[in-house]
A and B are shown apart, each in its own frame.
Chain A
């Protein structure tokens, strides 16, 4: 097994929302990702997935905990180390309509990383941009166009090309397909898989759709209300989901067989996701958990390894 390239230890990110209230977007999350692997992070909207991504890449400061990238603490880097770090870790964003500057030509958007880090200029820059466009299935003639002229899928690929320009090792994909049409999601995911094979990239793939995440991830982490409730290999998580929340999420994936689909029992969770400003005591999921026990309200379950590389935070298994 290769070395972990990214280690996240007890990461917390809280936001002050005024009147002394604190929103615990990410509340003590620990995981690691090995080089060349993909960790899929799933959970409902507002569970803190995107905040984790943004805190890892230091768009946000961490409230507590640490992020180690190749053994270096990201949040204690100085200016020079940050510059290096920016070249090694990149991000693909969710909204292809908001992630490209409408006043810049696509060629300049892709070339911005090259300009910032002084990697190429003149003819060489042009050549690199064209080759990046071709990598993501676009052509040289697209370089002199503005983002508004592109379709959602094309824009997302421009976003990928921008991230690739400075040849990072690690890419955080923040719901890269959730804003796209179903018909082109596979196209983008397959492009990302191909790039991973060709360039040995490591991904943190954030999504709210377990079906897609299964397709691309080696390991999957399931989040609920700012903390990780289960983490296992993609295959194991689907075969043997332990946490009631994971079971519910998995049961929501439709099966492409009308007969089976008709007879299948879905687990419907009652109620809404509680506010991360005042999460429930003990286990955060207990208010919606079909298997909740009295002790769930008292003690917060820890993430424990119940079988090799299968972690779960639930009192049922302790």
Chain B
């Protein structure tokens, strides 16, 4: 076997300057661009996102696609099956179901978004203050939350609606009163953890004030988790409204929500199951879509995939 003869003079170092060794070749991406790229790779979540987009568009334009008003009762054409004139049929008062379903979807989505928005604002403020100041402030604020959690939320919702009178506003407020708690707890935990991180300490030693610490250092780092939580709280609010409607405490007739449509549809289930089918399918789609989008967002924002 021939041996390979090598002498040191045959080796020359590859020229490499200090500046070259510090270079980073990969293109830079921000956290948000990166998360979006990861979300896009998640097919199921993108389907969820599209379902939400389509449903929102339909909730806006759907009622105008047929010439009926949502509260127009045509007593000559009651309980019709889906047909060319009434795409989803009519209900027991002869009102067009297509128009009512999308009108109801609009009301449900509006309640969902508004309740989630209130959760977001109150939860971030409350949790942020508790986490940022810590100590006794945190202690007191968390005990208050525990008291609220101790009361079953349905009872609190019902009490609030009975107290404020039925209507969209009171439903949104009632849902927000019980809903913000989980957001506040989440934000508080995150802020409490971040507050001791070295980059926050570094900003403090540079002389950063509270506003700067909160806006530049704390919020950007909890925003991902907040968005995920909000994506889950929208379907939760929609579902809770549906439950309240089932109890007869929801939206008042002739206005409809998906929950109240399901409730009325239940009466004629044996003969006219379409009346339950359509609003049922739409509400299921909404909840399903938000949940898979939320899962996808959670994966996309997960900092553990980073580094």
Contact = CB atoms under 8 A, between A and B. Distances in A.
Interface of A: 54, 57, 59, 82-83, 86-87, 89-91, 93-95, 97-104, 112-113, 116-117, 137-139, 141-142, 144-146, 148-150, 154, 159, 162, 166
Nearest to B18: A137
5 contacts: A86-B205, A103-B31, A117-B207, A141-B24, A145-B28
A135 to B, nearest CB: 13
At the interface, is chain B mostly helix, strand, loop or mixed? Answer: helix
In this complex, which of A117, A145, A166 has the most chain B Cβ atoms within 10 angstroms of its Cβ? A145
Contacts of A162: 202, 206
B203 interface: yes
Contact of B26 (A82, A113, A149): A149
Contacts of B18: 137
B207 A102 contact: no
Nearest to B306: A148
Nearest to B22: A138
B216 interface: yes
B307 A148 contact: yes
A86 B206 contact: yes
6 A-B pairs with least C-beta separation: A86-B207, A99-B198, A103-B220, A93-B198, A101-B199, A98-B198
B198 A102 contact: no
In this complex, which of B18, B202, B216, B303 has the most chain A Cβ atoms within 10 angstroms of its Cβ? B202
Given A116-B212, A145-B24, 17 more contacts: A82-B207, A86-B205, A86-B206, A86-B207, A90-B206, A91-B202, A93-B202, A101-B199, A101-B220, A101-B221, A102-B303, A112-B206, A112-B216, A116-B206, A141-B23, A148-B306, A159-B202
B77 to A, nearest CB: 58
A137 B307 CA distance: 22
B252 interface: no
B201 interface: yes
B5 interface: no
B19 interface: yes
B197 interface: yes
B206 to A, nearest CB: 5
Nearest to A138: B22
Contacts of A82: 207
B208 interface: yes
A306 to B, nearest CB: 36
Interface string B187-224: 00000000001110111111110001000110011000
Interface of B: 18-19, 22-24, 26, 28-31, 197-199, 201-208, 212, 216-217, 220-221, 303, 306-307
Given A145-B24, A146-B30, A95 B205 contact: no
A103 B208 CA distance: 17
B305 to A, nearest CB: 11
A123 B71 CA distance: 63
B206 A166 contact: yes
B207 A116 contact: yes
A146 B28 contact: yes
B133 to A, nearest CB: 15
A261 to B, nearest CB: 30
A238 to B, nearest CB: 31
A82 B204 CA distance: 11
Given A103-B221, A139-B19, A144-B28, A98 B197 contact: yes
A149 B207 contact: no
A117 B197 CA distance: 22
Contacts of B205: 57, 59, 86, 89-91
Contacts of A145: 24, 28
Nearest to A86: B207
Nearest to A106: B28
In this complex, which of A97, A98, A141 has the most chain B Cβ atoms within 10 angstroms of its Cβ? A98
A49 to B, nearest CB: 15
B206 A149 contact: no
A90 B24 CA distance: 28
A166 B206 CA distance: 8
A95 to B, nearest CB: 6
Given A104-B216, A149-B26, A112 B208 contact: yes
A139 B24 CA distance: 10
A131 B203 CA distance: 21
Contact of A95 (B198, B208, B303, B307): B198
A150 B202 contact: no
Nearest to A134: B19
Contacts of A116: 206-208, 212
B221 A102 contact: yes
Contact of B217 (A59, A93, A101, A150): A101
A149 B205 CA distance: 25
Contact of B22 (A59, A101, A117, A137): A137
Nearest to A109: B199
Nearest to A104: B216
A148 B24 CA distance: 11
A97 B304 CA distance: 13
A194 B268 CA distance: 85
B306 A94 contact: no
Given A86-B207, A117-B207, A146-B31, A100 B199 contact: yes
Contacts of B206: 86, 90, 112-113, 116, 162, 166
A166 B28 CA distance: 27
A204 to B, nearest CB: 13
